Chain A
Amino acid sequence: QVQLVESGGGVVQPGGSLRLSCTASGFNFNTFTMHWARQAPGKGLEWVAIILNDGTSKSYGDSVEGRFTISRDNSKNTLSLQMNSLRVEDTAVYYCVKEVSGGWFMESWGLGTLVTVSS
């Protein structure tokens, strides 16, 4: 079955950087569009970024555009999120998400990794 395991979360100071990874298994990773989404503590969900199956096209949420970069390595079944210029308001659980077959909807979510931005 589909498994998505995020890693790389932790505590970082404002202005710092962090790189998240997601290891995928149980499906043909290189045929699916992938996403990152996040959830601040006690708050709702926020879409962060999308990358097409071949990595040729990406898009970002307004709050992270220009600071975050999504990427993937299909040879290693890995999705990544490079986060730079981190702000206190980036504190959240970050989820790796697989789209449904046929696209357009977020099907399977990992358990998430917590990023805390604090001085």
Chain B
Amino acid sequence: GAVVSQHPSWVICKSGTSVKIECRSLDFQATTMFWYRQFPKQSLMLMATSNEGSKATYEQGVEKDKFLINHASLTLSTLTVTSAHPEDSSFYICSEAIESIQYFGAGTRLSVL
């Protein structure tokens, strides 16, 4: 069964609004979660590493103030896309690492109008 639950699976929002995506660990306590972005027909781009109880570590070129990550508990990490614009439309995927294997959520398709 699924190890990671990601919600929502699809969201449409107006330009300028903020959207929160949740990633829950179902079977384990996830000290570390990862957030990726995937453009159509392209590979996954790591955005940030989310660590429980501390600030997320962002990859180079990813705007920290645009993509807010919170990992307040061992089972929940959230990604908030603030003041979303059409160029933020993408497929966002989270994962958790368990003994060197990453288990992925089903992804969230964000469409910004």
- Are A and B interaction partners? no
